[in-house]
Amino acid sequence: MTVSKNAKAHESAHLHVAGEATFVDDIAPAQGTLHAALYLSEHAHARIVSIDVADVLASPGVHAVITADDIKGENHCGPILHDDPILADDLVQYVGQPVFAVIADSQLLARKAVKSARVEIEPLDAVFDVQQADEQHSWVLPPMHLQQGDTGSVLASTEQTLSGAFSVGGQEHFYLEGQIAHVAPKEDGCLHLWCSTQHPTEMQHLVAQCLQRDASQILVEMRRMGGGFGGKESQSALICCVAAIAADKLQRPVRLRLDRDDDMQLTGKRHGFDYQYQVAFNAAGKLQALQLKMLINSGYSADLSGPVATRAICHVDNAYQIEAVDVRAHCCKTNTQSNTAFRGFGGPQGAFATEYILDNIARETAQDALDVRKLNFYPQQGGQTPYGQPVEDNVIHQLVEQLEQSSDYRARREQIDQFNAGSSIIKKGLALTPVKFGISFNVVHYNQAGALVHVYTDGSVLVNHGGTEMGQGLHTKVAQVVSQELGIDLKRVRATATDTSKVANTSATAASTGSDLNGKAAQDAARQIKTRLIDFLSSKFAVSPASIRFEQNRVRADGFEWSFEEVIHLAYQARVQLWSDGFYKTPDLHWDKDKLRGSPFYYFAYGAVVSEVAVDTLTGEFKLLAADLLHDAGNSINPAIDKGQVEGAFIQGMGWLTSEQLCWDDSGRLSTHAPSTYKIPAVSDCPARFKVELFENQNVKDTILRSKAVGEPPLLLGFSVFFAIRDAIASVAGHTINPPLNAPATPESILKALEACRG
């Protein structure tokens, strides 16, 4: 492997390996700090008749019980609608919904005391099934519909049609660090919050709302998360609000840290989708019309289901030009956790539908699925998405061509056919799947960011921006941008904790836009400082501004050379402002959210992967043997970090579609609420051959250093593992039958699909 000069180590790597990186729970509690625990509903849908907490209050170490009555403002912490109570009032809507909080001397005492509550309820009918919810028109939001072209007439007049149904499950975020907040009351009604969140500004506003304070009284600080994956975009709010209400009421610092099981019972997950489709295609396998209905399991409230559904609709096309499209998305209300953002944000679920359908069409037309996919790609130029955005940066043809060669796809296809012919129990499968993923928040005004850059008089630099660090390397990339702009070593630039009192009105670190937005804002700030330095030097030394260069910790102009530190010292003496703010907003975005039309994305990121699996047809188990990934991160700011993102996202996507299964029992209780029953991929699930390469590319758009966002898109590369498994299954019937395989492809569902193929 060639190591690029920009392949810098993660800014905290040395702290992570030494166990010295501080997370919220590592903040040393000040004297008098109390700990909270939540009572979670035992019922999926019920009226609360009475809550008896006498025994709770009498338990050792207990200071208070916090209920909905303690909330001064509105009892809600939803990101968009006001349908997420902080604490249940008279109604519970899922097993795991917080009803009250106990505040005690220690977390253990608080958790013990919770158990002695007596909550009397009156059960109500609960709905767990999206089909049932849909039939009852029980939705958390109005249905959405995107129509482009006339699918009805194409379906009526075409050579071949196909219809069917399939589904994909949800996914638990399984961040290593669970949800946590620590709140300290300050003078004059102010509060300081440390909270594991992707969205400090929203935490600030929701806490201000529930306490009826000004946002200016609430300071939220976030140094790093032990993973977020979307699960801390909105759903850190409940944790923050409960801790803040308790801290404010008792005027003591309060920490609320969820136990893993409680975290899994309480918080929402990736939305599971049920699909019904009808398609028209020609003899060559070209998709001509797609009618698709997606039933989305939103859980009990809206949370981010609206923008998730929108992104799902805007990714049904994936990398394919489809003439006529009719897509419906219904956000079904069920009595489960409220599902939320999860890496890809509905995009994976949207694109999965069309990949599944093309996989079917390949067998219907007796072709290699790769040929059908290639036939359907957006044209090199002149493509247009069903929602009206031109596809101007299409590189999928070159990218897939390169991968097809480097992975030796055709030869391996032949080898696998031969292997399968001679192997009755173990069957191999192969699949190449592409990805096209739209970058920008699909809510236009979220696409803005701010930063502050301070150059101290010793020439060291501090950068603060609105993005949060969750392991993805955002602070490293932003520091690299500043170091490049000022021409100084990366070790001279430090990124600090995200802090709502430094940069205001930030967006969530989400939609993969962290470095696009905050990198540009930080560059803007650094550039302003540099411009002031150039003005200062050119007037003081009478050199032409154009000749002044900042590189390798030196500043050079015709006939002059200084160290960066000397320049800073001189500028300070001359009273030049050595710090600056910076701002960025993504240009060229427009979106009509009612018509579902416009150009919601600044550009697209592309990728493709070849996966090879072996399936044991007796046990239904599979092993990923090889994966060759080629991903477009544009002109990568940090190839080491980007490759790590591609690897991690691919494995996380594979987990979603294979081993990670969420099960609820008949009473609506999540039975897979711990690592004992919920299986995320382990290191041993990584393939023996694991090739991850970045595609040589420059963003055609003027993004930060011409890079492309990389956080979410490669999650969709996990598709290839699922379709390789499906390919292996289909081999038992000579690839003539479409295996009825739903995701996740657990051993059980693989066996069922095998049975169906054997007839």
**Region of residue 24 (left: phi > 0; alpha: psi -120 to 50; beta: else):** alpha
DSSP code for 434: E
DSSP code for 226: S
The CA dihedral of 655, 666, 99, 142, to the nearest 10 degrees, is: 70
DSSP code for 171: B
Residues 6+ apart with CB under 8 A from 53: 65, 100, 117
Q: Provide the minimum distance between the beta carbon of 230 and ligand MOS in the complex, in angstroms, as a whole number.
A: 3
Mask of contacts with ligand MTE, 320-349, x by CB under 6 A?
-----------------------x------
With 0-12 CB in 10 A as exposed, 13-18 as middle and 19+ as buried, what is 552? exposed
Q: Of the ranges 74-82, 116-124, 177-185, 227-235, which one interacts with ligand MTE (CB under 6 A)? A: 227-235
Q: Provide the minimum distance between the beta carbon of 511 and ligand MOS in the complex, in angstroms, as a whole number.
A: 5
**Residue 480 interface partner, choices ligand LUZ, ligand MOS, ligand MTE, none, CB cut-off 5-8 Å depending on type:** none
CA distances from 509 to 140, 441, 506, 513 (A): 25, 10, 9, 7
| Measured distance CA(480)–CA(486) in Å, rounded | 10
Q: Decide if 615 contacts 730 (C-beta within 8 A).
A: no
Reduced 3-state DSSP string for 591-637: EECCCCEEECCCEEEEEEEEEEEEEECCCCCEEEEEEEEEECCECCC
* Closer Cβ to ligand MOS, 341 or 517, answer by number: 341
712 is catalytic: yes
**Residue 507 interface partner, choices ligand LUZ, ligand MTE, ligand MOS, none, CB cut-off 5-8 Å depending on type:** none
CA distances from 636 to 137, 643, 707, 712, 715 (A): 46, 10, 5, 15, 18
Q: Provide the minimum distance between the beta carbon of 311 and ligand LUZ in the complex, in angstroms, as a whole number.
A: 5
Structure tokens at 187: 């003078």
Name residue 128's beta-bridge partners.
none
Mask of contacts with ligand LUZ, 206-245, x by CB under 6 A?
---------------------------x------------
Per the residue annotation, which of 11, 172, 469, 712 is the catalytic one? 712
Q: Of the ranges 6-14, 133-141, 322-330, 505-513, which one interacts with ligand MTE (CB under 6 A)? A: 505-513
**Which residue has tokens 């003005």?**
535
* Closer Cβ to ligand MTE, 291 or 340, answer by number: 340
Q: Which of 107, 440, 512, 697 binds ligand MTE (CB under 6 A)?
A: 512
* Closer Cβ to ligand MOS, 580 or 707, answer by number: 707
* Closer Cβ to ligand LUZ, 466 or 744, answer by number: 466
- Assess 510 for contact with ligand LUZ (CB under 6 A): yes
Mask of contacts with ligand LUZ, 327-366, x by CB under 6 A?
--------------x---x---------------------
**Residue 470 interface partner, choices ligand MTE, ligand LUZ, ligand MOS, none, CB cut-off 5-8 Å depending on type:** ligand MTE
Which residue lies nearest ligand MTE, judged by its C-beta? 514
* Closer Cβ to ligand MTE, 70 or 642, answer by number: 642
Per CB under 6 A, residues contacting ligand MOS are: 198, 230, 233, 341-343, 345, 510-511, 712
Q: Provide the minimum distance between the beta carbon of 178 and ligand MOS in the complex, in angstroms, as a whole number.
A: 16
Structure tokens at 616: 């044991």
- Assess 230 for contact with ligand MTE (CB under 6 A): yes
Q: Decide if 440 contacts 600 (C-beta within 8 A).
A: yes
* Closer Cβ to ligand MOS, 289 or 470, answer by number: 470
Q: Which of 645, 658, 699, 703 binds ligand MTE (CB under 6 A)?
A: 645
Q: At 485, which helix (H) or strand (E)?
A: helix 474-486
* Closer Cβ to ligand MOS, 680 or 737, answer by number: 680
Q: Which residues of 7-35 are buried (b: 16+ CB within 10 A; e: fewer)?
A: ebebbbeeeeeeeebeebbebeeeeebbb
**Residue 488 interface partner, choices ligand LUZ, ligand MTE, ligand MOS, none, CB cut-off 5-8 Å depending on type:** none
Mask of contacts with ligand LUZ, 438-477, x by CB under 6 A?
---xxx----------------------------------
| Measured distance CA(254)–CA(240) in Å, rounded | 10
| Measured distance CA(71)–CA(92) in Å, rounded | 17
What Rg do the C-alpha atoms of the chain give, in angstroms?
27
C-alpha 739, offset from chain centre: 30
Residues 288-317 that bind ligand LUZ (CB under 6 A): 304, 307, 311
**Residue 443 interface partner, choices ligand MTE, ligand LUZ, ligand MOS, none, CB cut-off 5-8 Å depending on type:** ligand LUZ
- Assess 436 for contact with ligand MTE (CB under 6 A): no
Q: Provide the minimum distance between the beta carbon of 586 and ligand LUZ in the complex, in angstroms, as a whole number.
A: 12
* Closest C-alpha to 237, from 388, 341, 136, 346: 341
Q: Provide the minimum distance between the beta carbon of 709 and ligand MTE in the complex, in angstroms, as a whole number.
A: 6
Residues 169-198 that bind ligand MTE (CB under 6 A): none
Mask of contacts with ligand MTE, 705-734, x by CB under 6 A?
----x-xx----------------------
Length of the chain: 759
Helices 409-421 and 396-406: angle between axes, nearest 10 degrees? 50
**Residue 515 interface partner, choices ligand MOS, ligand LUZ, ligand MTE, none, CB cut-off 5-8 Å depending on type:** ligand MTE
| Measured distance CA(135)–CA(13) in Å, rounded | 51
* Closer Cβ to ligand MTE, 85 or 346, answer by number: 346
| Measured distance CA(305)–CA(130) in Å, rounded | 14
**Which residue has tokens 């697209």?**
604
**Residue 442 interface partner, choices ligand LUZ, ligand MOS, ligand MTE, none, CB cut-off 5-8 Å depending on type:** ligand LUZ
| Measured distance CA(265)–CA(419) in Å, rounded | 44
Q: Of the ranges 168-176, 393-401, 506-514, 559-567, which one interacts with ligand LUZ (CB under 6 A)? A: 506-514
Q: Output the DSSP codes for 268-333.
A: --BPPEEEEEEEEE-TT--EEEEEEEEEEEEESS-TTHHHHHHHHHTTTTTTB--SEEEEEEEEEE
Q: Provide the minimum distance between the beta carbon of 237 and ligand MTE in the complex, in angstroms, as a whole number.
A: 17
* Closer Cβ to ligand LUZ, 340 or 476, answer by number: 340
* Closer Cβ to ligand MOS, 151 or 196, answer by number: 196
**Residue 314 interface partner, choices ligand MOS, ligand MTE, ligand LUZ, none, CB cut-off 5-8 Å depending on type:** none
740: helix, coil or strand?
Answer: coil
Q: Provide the minimum distance between the beta carbon of 240 and ligand MTE in the complex, in angstroms, as a whole number.
A: 18
- The residues carrying an active-site annotation are 712
Binding site for ligand LUZ (CB under 6 A): 233, 304, 307, 311, 341, 345, 441-443, 508, 510-511
Binding site for ligand MTE (CB under 6 A): 227-230, 343, 470-472, 474, 509-515, 645, 648, 709, 711-712
